Structure 1
Amino acid sequence: MASKQPSLRLTVLAAAAACLLLLLLPAASAATAVEYCNKGKKYPVKVSGVEIVPDPVQRGEPAKFKISASTDKIIEKGKLVIDVKYFFFYVHSETHDICEETTCPATGDFLLSHEQTLPGITPPGSYTITMKMLGENDEELSCISFGFSIGFVADS
């Protein structure tokens, strides 16, 4: 019986080490959940995914938001209206020319890519972005919402 005791301990230690390694895997491999603003609306632009690098976002470091989308329309002009909430509090809004965030004319599958560096004083925690894609005459092409986190470590 004494010879089985070290073997059991090694098995328990190996299982604990494996669990710890799984907890330490980078969060970047997880997909960011996206919701449409109006779940019943048929938006001309369909969003298939959002990738945030790094995830969580680090204060003072560039963060890239990549939105994979597709459309049957030809988008030659428009804008992105981005609203940011910290927990439930509105904290920031900005508007960008859609053709500065993707190649125009955009049609079929395309990628919107935006890079932002958040100031070192940005509070850590959970944020929500609501992003509206508006066409040439402010036609709502899409509206999505997704969350992201800002880490607790800031570079000086």
Structure 2
Amino acid sequence: MAGQLAAAGRFDEAVAVIDSALALAPASLELQLLLAQILPHRNERGRAREILEKLRTVAPGHPDILAALARVLLLDGEYAAAADLYRQVLAQRPDDPLTRTSFSACLLEMGDRAAGEANLRLALRGRPQMIGRTTSALAMASHGRFFFRPSAAAKFLS
């Protein structure tokens, strides 16, 4: 239910549902992870980070925990630390285009334009549905690129 509420953008209600569920099952890794993934939408990155750091000690190397923690670090501007975590996730899931796109954003923000662009190309390869995300990552980064036409971005990333 919390996942459906979050998908509908009803983050306060989703958090309330998870908090109620955690009162009944406080050791549930899945519930804690879901809570930590929703909290950044309410700008509660500190709380999310705290939960994810605890989960990381309980389940080291868990790709969903690492990816969620990397996302919080990325939002906080800790690009090198986020990139390290994204590398660990990509070692387990090399074909995950969303993780690769986020990893690319970190690389671009750190000024490694060549590696960032190369990873965006990998994220897009064979996945035309990723053109929006890859183009956004490329254009939004402080060391990224901007295109006036979507076709120019698609050509660049191909």
Q: TM-score, normalised by structure 1?
A: 0.23
Return the index of the structure with the highest Cα Rg: 1
Structure ranking higher in helix proportion: 2
